[in-house]
A and B are shown apart, each in its own frame.
Chain A
Amino acid sequence: MSMTRRDFVRGGVAAFTVGFAAPRFLSDLAIAQGQSRRNLVVLYLSGGNDALSTLIPYTDPQYYARRPTLAIPAGNVLQIGSDASRRPLGLHPRLTGLRTIYNAGRLAIVQRTGYPNSSRSHFEGSDIWSTGDPSSPQGTGWLGRYLDRLPSPVDPLTGWSTTREIPRTLLARTVGVPAIPNAQQYAFSSPNGGNDATFARQSALRISSHLPVDQPHLAFVNATSQAAFATLDRVGQVGNYRPTVTYPNTGLALALRTVVGAMANQIGTRVFWVQTGGFDTHSGQGTNANGTYANLMGTVDGALTAFYTDLSNQGLLGDTLVLQFSEFSRRIDENGSQGTDHGAAGIMLAMGGGVRGGIYGSAPDLRPAADNPTLENGTRDVRFETDFRSVYATVIDRWLGSEAAAVLGGNFGGGPAFL
């Protein structure tokens, strides 16, 4: 699978030989012209987040029956009310900050998100969520296609991946999104100081300006260098950002701090990618106390809470939307290793100043009965209710101001009205 994916996709997408040379003040210009300063932060929980441990149906006896060691006692759950089907639900005990945000009406939870015939493969699953195309998940990403539709030339910093790889979600046909995991290290060094360092940079820039059409591989690498040079100085400012709160010392929190730094410096980035892993909890899932999953929730909560507060203090909350997803959720039954295997439908979270908070959709009924319409795969897994592409459509139409049908290549319904 891997070779097909790599060769076909990376090779099939044109090198970003255009778009990196946008004028430096393009973003300022856009803002001066009254364009939106709205931005979208996509948060990917990699490995397949166990939705039943994030949003807990703590009154469902089947939840306790099917998860003898992993269920979270009702008394520990952070109750947040009921969904439309009147099923009481609560957040994981470590999500205390998110509960506060929920109570402030700025967190939406969309239940049972997924798609027909859900893939149980990490790689195919994440490709499907990235492209929005379950039948052929090997092309550009949904946000890449959004970038491709922006008026040309597109500033390379319109997108920003805080991971070392460019996620498929941001893979575009004409725009090369930079990968900047650490703004402070995003610099060009040289063996000699003073003027010689300047000469070296000028020379390196000139060497990389060679974009031979008959050698697309070399053109691609050189264009990557060019994009790095075109973004260096602006990103350098972000590295100096002084946050208004103390962020936890986790990769996710530090990435989100960088995101606020970019916003506060008005870099012009519209879509950010942040990611945190460890959710492939096949064994020793540790949902309770200080177990593995509990700590994952702690990481997410600490990072998002600091981010939310920093945004509020900076007056940026109203311009920011966080959208969270994972490639699949997990089996309802725990396995013999006190873990859970790959499942199907899960939840998506949306957080921000423009979000209409609440619980959307209906919770699964966990009864292992053949006629239970909320389950699938022999009642092993949760069946989707809301197509994830309808959630994307809401974000594209109502937040990014683009055209969902064109970006997604189809109409998947309006989706829940969380914006």
Chain B
Amino acid sequence: MAAQREEELQHLLRRAGFGASEADVNGYARLGLLGFSAAVGHLLAFADQPDDVDEQIGAVGYVGVTAAQGRLAPAANINDARQRWLFRMVHTRRPLQEKMALFWHNHFATAYAKIAGDAGATEAARMLAAKPSEDAGRAKGQLELLREHALGNFRDLLIAIAQDPAMLYWLDGRTNVRAHPQENFARELMELFTMGVDTFTESDVYAGARVFTGWNLVRAAGDGAARFVFNFNAAQHDTTAKEFSFPVYASGGRVIPARAPSAGMEDGIDLINAVARHPATGPRLARKLYSFFVNETDAPDAALIDDVARIYYARNYEIEPMVRRLLLSSQFRDPANYYRRYSWPVEFVVRAIKEVGWTGLSVNDALTPLVNMGQQLFEPPDVNGWELGRGWFTTGAMLARMNFAAQLATNQKFNLRDAFRGHAATPDALIAAALDRLSPPVYNAGARAALLEYVNAGGSWTASDAQLAAKGSGVVHLIVGSGEYQFV
């Protein structure tokens, strides 16, 4: 029974977090959270946990970082920002918050390179990753916004995103003016952020662009630390009426009325309300959350998705009840749905670090491998986000995963030797200990035999320290690099 509960907890933490180290599992046990519902409640109520993980950066016992210059400067250097996010994924006490931030990062996919090209490297890192508490101008990066709204209200998140400086750079809203409406944001708001393709017309895009005229940026007055802030520029707003092919108002009205310039920002609020309320938005979001949390490899469970979409409207676009419904569903707990989602490269990397170990490791060493696996944080390929599922698994990306497994196992060779000492009297025992440390699904007999063949190759087993180091790291490499381990 205990083993089953632990498996269930590990499943929950792989999906609603980034996996579990041995210490994590023990920590949940100490808190009396081995019961499934209690653990889900704990994860959902992440605001009750201290948000103090950044204070541990550089501390003994935590995974390392490698600052570009002196101290880690995530608000000024994008590689430092990537490292801090990975650090948080490994050590946070609020795993579901980081997980949802990653989900939204893919949903509102915003890439650093374009912003850096327009605004400079330092300013771009700041717009994406600054925390107000550490920024001279109290700038709040897009990632902080995604954390803040992680399980909040989707409509509020849309408004925050529409006014987010990084987004205003990324989709050119900062240059959307009355004489020359800019279509980029309005199009993606409908096509990618809410309703989905084929639910709107080209003329909706033109009308939407006019709605957001004047939603620009201004550099807050002050010294050099001044940040970009959203600014509604009434003089640049198109005040004429805008007609849509779908209802904008609950009454069914399709026309946003002509308004005085000073009231023109209401246009954008009306349109965001409309796309949040649109009948295609809830189901689309529900499908996305379902395949993120429950199952990505089999035909989707239409009834559960319908119910989650219903909750979206019934609870006025609150995200938390949708995620709660999914995590507490019988489908989520069904062991048939374990390991039924292709892991994203950052999930793979963070889980491997948590399970294999991190003493003497810097998350900086994972950054280039992540590029080769196809997921560089803050650099999605386009506004549609990453190609998920099978899209992650090209030959080159699979080699990159195997090679990261090799790199990590090499780095942890002596820690693994110490961990396996006394638990590896036979090759079989070594394999059992390695499988226990990691959390792959049950291997088939052929794979298990291949592991055994590897341990036996090259000489008879004596469990010497040299053998434990070589074969211990070798077995961990093979498991983490195997197909079975690529699922969460």
Q: Given A190-B406, A210-B444, A204 and B390 touching (CB < 8 A)?
A: no
Contacts of B191 in A (CB 8 A): 1, 121, 123
* Stretch in contact with the other chain, from B32-40, B67-75, B150-158, B470-478: B470-478
In the complex, chain B residues whose CB is within 8 Å of the CB of A3? 284, 287-288, 291
Q: Which of A98-106, A307-315, A337-345 contacts B (4 or more CB under 8 A)?
A: A337-345
Interface size class of A (residues with CB under 8 A): 35 or more
Query: Per-residue 0/1 for B387-417: is the Cβ within 8 Å of any A Cβ (1 yes, 0 no)?
Result: 1111101111111101100110110010000
User: Could you tell me if B175 and A196 are in contact, using CB atoms closer than 8 angstroms?
Assistant: no
Known: A191-B474, A203-B454, A207-B447. A165 touches B482 (CB 8 A): no
| Whole-angstrom CA separation of A200 from B481 in the bound complex | 11
Q: Does A242 contact B (CB under 8 A)?
A: no
In the complex, what residues of B have CB within 8 A of residue A124's CB?
197
* B184 touches A (CB below 8 Å): yes
**Residue B297 at the chain A interface, CB threshold 8 Å:** yes
Contact of A337 among B180, B393, B447 (CB under 8 A): B180
- Taking CB atoms and an 8 Å cut-off, the chain B residues in 303-341 that contact chain A are 340
Secondary structure at chain B's binding surface: helix, strand, loop or mixed?
A: helix
Q: How far is the CB of B469 from chain A (nearest CB, A)?
A: 9
**Residues of B with C-beta under 8 A to A225:** 395, 398, 402, 483
Task: Tell whether A165 pairs with B374 under 8 Å between CB atoms, given A123-B197, A123-B384, A335-B180.
Answer: yes
In Å, the complex CA distance between A185 and B402 comes to 12
Contact B453 A341 (CB under 8 A): no
Q: In the complex, what residue of chain A is closest to B481 when comparing beta carbons?
A: A204
A178-B394, A191-B409, A210-B446 are contacts. A121–B187 as well, Cβ < 8 Å?
A: yes
Q: Which of A51-59, A215-223, A395-403, A410-418 contacts B (4 or more CB under 8 A)?
A: A215-223
B56: CB under 8 A from chain A?
Answer: no
- Residue A25, interface by CB 8 Å: no
* Docked complex Cα distance between A6 and B389 (Å): 7
Q: Which A residue's beta carbon lies closest to that of B456? A: A199
Q: Contact check, A221 vs B180: say whether CB atoms are below 8 A apart.
A: no
- Whether the Cβ atoms of B477 and A190 lie closer than 8 Å is yes
Does A116 have its Cβ within 8 Å of any Cβ on chain B?
no
Asked whether B179 lies within 8 Å of A336 as measured between CB atoms, the reply is yes
Distance, CA A179 to CA B410, complexed state (A): 26
Q: What residues of A have a CB within 8 angstroms of the CB of B10 in the complex? A: none
List residues of chain A with CB within 8 A of the CB of B406.
189-191
**What's the Cα separation between A254 and B146 when bound, in Å?**
36
- B450 lies within 8 A of A188 (CB): no
B402 touches A196 (CB 8 A): no
With A and B bound together, what is the CA distance between A204 and B481 in angstroms?
8
Name 16 interchain pairs, CB-CB below 8 A, sorted by A: A1-B197, A10-B390, A123-B191, A176-B395, A179-B395, A185-B396, A191-B470, A191-B477, A199-B458, A200-B474, A203-B453, A204-B478, A207-B451, A212-B444, A221-B398, A283-B182
Given contacts A203-B453, A228-B395, A336-B182, 18 further A-B contacts (CB under 8 A): A1-B196, A1-B198, A3-B288, A46-B382, A164-B397, A165-B391, A188-B403, A192-B470, A199-B457, A199-B458, A202-B457, A203-B457, A206-B449, A225-B402, A228-B398, A282-B183, A334-B180, A337-B175
